[in-house]
Structures are given as structure tokens and as C-alpha cells.
Chains A and B, each alone.
Chain A
Amino acid sequence: MFEYIKLEMRRTLRDASFVTFGIGMPVLMYLLFTNIGGGQNDDADWKISSMIGMAAYGALGAALGVGTGVASDKSIGWLRQMRIAPLPPTRVVTGRAISGSVTVLPGILAVFLSGALVNGVRLDAWQWGALTLLLWIGALPFTMLGLGNGYRLSAQATGVVNVACLMGLAILGGLWFPVSAFPGWLRRIAEYTPTHRFADLGWATSQGHAPGAATIALMAAWLVVFGSYAVVSYRRSARTA
């Protein structure tokens, strides 16, 4: 599996457009959101929480984007090739998820960097470290969701479905607008979304405490759900090709 992770990481890092978009988009959106629309809003809390929200959003996009790569690999027969290799499906999916998570990291770091340099966000060193790590690991369920879509759908459909998942989950989870602005019933649904819990990992850290047990449990549950979805989709994928 280690060799598989190495191979896929190499391929991703050699893909210039993927790296540029994965890093460039969230930074651009963060700076736009905090400096243009709400330019007069000097609230430090908003700058921190939107920084985390946008880093989470970027991580989400990159994580789901792994699925798009998988779908195009499928269209050229690479999944079939993997299916006839000795590596069991669970390890193929795990390996692809781990290698995919490498693409998540640069986006997170870039948003944090622009938060610190451009918007003057100040946090303790341990908070920066913990934030990076939590958002990075926390993106894993979304990588699984993206992989599941990629293994199951055609390359074009994966792109569309991933964008729909990204938008839907980001808005519903309160990454764009705070959940407190939602009506009560929607707020209750939002609490259970993986995206809200994902961003909560970051918000808790920025307020100086560890994320709650409920958040960790929910994230683990979502990891299992999306992880199973990815494995099942992978098993099915070679047959229909």
C-alpha cells in the first residue's frame, strides 16, 4: 500500500493545474469574503472564523476533487488494472484516500498564511499547528465521499456531483454563512452535517479548547459511512467498465 500511496502522490504533485487550483481558489475566496463584501466589518472573530471556514471549504474542495481524478483514471482502465493486482479493495481505497489527502494540505496552509499576513489574524503557535492537523485529518471523510463518487460515476458526472456535494454541504454546514443565521429547524439539521462538525474542529481550537466528544464521534461516523460508500463503489466499478 505504501508504494501505491507514493505512486499516486507523485502523480498528483506532477499535476500543475490541480496544485494551482487547490491552493489558489480558497485563498482568493477568503480574501474576497473578508475584504470586499464585509470590508467595514473589522470584527476579529469574523476574520478568524471565516478563515477557518474558508480553509475548511478549500480542504473540502480538494478532498472531493480527488474523486474527479479517480473517475478519469477509471475511464482509461486504471481501476481494472488495480482490480487484477493483489492489493485488496480496502487497501486500494485507503491508499488512495491517504495519497489524496496530500493535496488537501497546501490549500489549508495557504489560507492560514493569507489570514496571518493579509488579515492580521493572531493565534498561538499550538493553535496554528492543531488547526492545520485537525482540518487535514478531518478532510478524510470528504476524500472518501469524493472517491465513492469517482469510483461509481463517469468523469463528467463526478465533477458535477462533487460540486453539488461541495456547495450543498458547505452551505448547510455553515461554512459560508454562520449557522446562527439559520432558522431553528435548519440549524438542528446543520448540527449533524459532516461539514459543520469539520469546521467545528477548527472553531473549537481557535477558541482555545479541544473539539467536543460529539464532534469527534460524528466525524468518525461520517468517515465510516463515506468510507464504506467508497469501498462498495470501488468493488462495483471494475465490473461495469
Chain B
Amino acid sequence: MTQTTTQSDANAVRFSGVVKSYGAVRAVNGAELSIGRGETVALLGRNGAGKSTTISLLLGLNEPDAGEVGIFGRTPEQAVRAGLVGAMLQEGSPIPRVTVRELVFFIGSMYPKPMPVAEALALAGLTEFADRRVDKLSGGQTQRVRFAMALAGNPELLLLDEPTAALDVEARRAFWESMRTYADRGNTVVFSTHYLEEADDNADRIVVIDRGRIVADGPGETIKRAAGGSLVSFDLAGMPTEGLSLLPGVAAVEIHGDRARLRSDDSDATVVALAAMGAVRRLEVAPASLEDAFLSLTARESETV
């Protein structure tokens, strides 16, 4: 019994068999996911893949049709009430006729152990706008206000739904730096994005979601490997293409004109085999980019549907 308690406490987030549909569309389809305390996890997927629904379920804004969602061993609603969760939602503009400082202070005041307002404003890069009316800010500044609101309660679990939309390159860099500072304090951070680089650069772990399903889950490296670790390409120079898919390590073959691109789990073995065939003209070996990995993972999923 003690063991069960420790086990559930060890997880910040636990999804088991979660299904959520909107009409005929299964926005989340049987998701199994657990996120440990202190992890920084990216939910990666295209628009409409089910990322926002997942975050809504984590916040208790939506109830799953089936399965269970647990946050620190409680229901999402209990966790929200206890002030354990802070979130930055995607839509919504701040309410008119309050200043940034008033709004951030107010949000913090509802939590048991809020972050000092000055600190939340500094982390979100809003110090100089503290006394501005929230409705008089630009899109990027508004986005930072949302971040400050999410931080204000000093929550153990921070949920960020596409946090860098509307931010320019400079603001983006500053944002991720602040996010990592917050994560480094031992907090759990879950963010959604459709930028692959962002996920790879800022998360310990990437959960790839497509059509409501988790199609891959692991560190950036693992995701790349899952998609076929390397890309071996060479000029065919008129040689026949059949048999290429049978070479050692090869997972997939693409032909573009006179050039063959082989996705390989073991590029060394593939290259040796190609060399034995004499197919080495303009031979290149490149690690699969996360973009390739993502496309291949989500394409594989669509074939099985």
C-alpha cells in the first residue's frame, strides 16, 4: 500500500487509456502516458493532432470519455484546487482595465505559495510593462503576460499550450531560457508545439502525437532512431533499384530521379553493402533530422489507419 502511494506520487502526470471525442472525431484516442516529477516534456504534433485537448484534460477543463487522468496522484480538479498546476492557454486575451502587475498579483494571490510578483514579471520579461494596462499591449507582450500568469502561483506542474506562438525570434529565445530556469528548480514542465526544433532543444523528452494517438515517446535521439537513424544517399547512375530495400539496415527506400535515399538503422552495414555493389557515386550519410523523423512517424501511423 505504501508502495502504491510512492509510485503515484513519483508521477507528475499519468494518463491511462484516455479517450476524448468531439462528435465523430477522436481528439485523444487511448493515450497512455506518464511523466515523472521534474521532467520537461514536449507534446509534438501538427495542428489538430490532439495537443490542446490533452492539455485541457490535464487541467480538468474537459472530462475524458474513458480512462483516467491523474496529476500528482489526484484528479486534475483536485490538483488545480490545491494550486499545484499553472497553465498558459492558447486562446484568450487578457481582460481589459487592469494593469499587468494587478493581474499577475491577483492570479498569484489565489495560490498557497505564490511567486513574488516582481520575480514572475522578471521571468516573463515584463518588468518594464508592469504598470501598463493589459489591453494596451502588443501580441507578443500579451503572450508574455500569459506566461507570467502561469508562473504567478509558483506551480509544481507548468502546462504551456503553444507558448511561443506570436513571439519573434528574440522573444522566443528569452522565453525558453525562462522556461528552463523554472524547470531547473525541480518543477515539471509540459509544453506543446509544432516546431520540431523547439521540442528537441528545450525538452528532455518528446511525445509525438498524431490523430489523437501517441506515435512516439522518448528523448530526441530515440525519436530520430525510431524513424530510421540515418539517411544514406547516392547516385544510381542507371543501376536497378530492386533489392535496395533488402540491404542490411535499410528500413525504407526513396528514389528521386537518379538519386536513391535509403533510411537506415545501421548506416555502417548499409554503406559496406553498397560499396560491395560498387554503388558509391556521391555517397552521403546524414543523420535523419527530427523533421524527417516526425514525417516518417506520422506517415507510418496514417498507413495503419
Q: B-contacting residues of A (Cβ < 8 Å)?
A: 3-4, 6-7, 10-11, 14-15, 73, 76-78, 80-81, 83-88, 238-239
Contacts and interface: CB of A to CB of B under 8 A. Distances in A.
A86 B87 CA distance: 12
B61 interface: yes
Contacts, number: 65
A84 B59 contact: yes
Contacts of A86: 80-83, 110-112, 153
Contacts of A73: 95
A10 B81 CA distance: 25
27 contacts: A3-B105, A3-B109, A4-B110, A7-B98, A10-B98, A10-B102, A11-B97, A15-B97, A76-B92, A76-B93, A76-B94, A77-B92, A77-B93, A78-B94, A80-B92, A81-B92, A84-B59, A84-B80, A84-B85, A84-B87, A84-B89, A85-B111, A86-B80, A86-B83, A86-B110, A88-B81, A239-B61
A87 B111 CA distance: 8
Interface string B254-291: 00000000000000000000000000000000000000
B215 to A, nearest CB: 28
Contacts of A6: 106
A11 B81 CA distance: 25
Contacts of A78: 92, 94-95
B91 interface: yes
B162 to A, nearest CB: 14
Contacts of B92: 76-78, 80-81
B44 interface: no
A152 B109 CA distance: 27
Contacts of B59: 83-84
Contact of A76 (B81, B87, B95): B95
Q: Is the interface of A mostly helix, strand, loop or mixed?
A: helix
A15 B102 CA distance: 16
Nearest to B76: A84
A15 B133 CA distance: 13
Interface in B99-142: 102-103, 105-107, 109-112
B149 interface: yes
A90 B121 CA distance: 30
Contacts of B153: 85-86
B16 interface: no
B62 interface: yes
A87 B154 CA distance: 15
Contacts of B109: 3
* CB-based closest 4 A-B pairs: A77-B92, A3-B109, A14-B97, A86-B83
Given A77-B89, A239-B62, A11 B95 contact: yes
A85 B102 contact: no
Given A14-B97, A73-B95, 4 more contacts: A76-B92, A81-B89, A86-B110, A238-B61
B243 interface: no
Contacts of B83: 86
Given A14-B97, A76-B93, A77-B91, A83 B107 contact: no
B23 interface: no
A84 B61 CA distance: 8
A3 B111 contact: no
Contacts of A76: 92-95
A147 B174 CA distance: 40
Contacts of A3: 105-106, 109-110
Contacts of A84: 59-61, 80, 85, 87, 89
A7 B100 CA distance: 12
B89 to A, nearest CB: 6
Contacts of B81: 86, 88
A10 B89 contact: no
B110 A87 contact: yes
B240 interface: no
Contacts of A77: 89, 91-93
A147 to B, nearest CB: 16
B96 interface: yes
A7 B96 CA distance: 11
B165 to A, nearest CB: 14
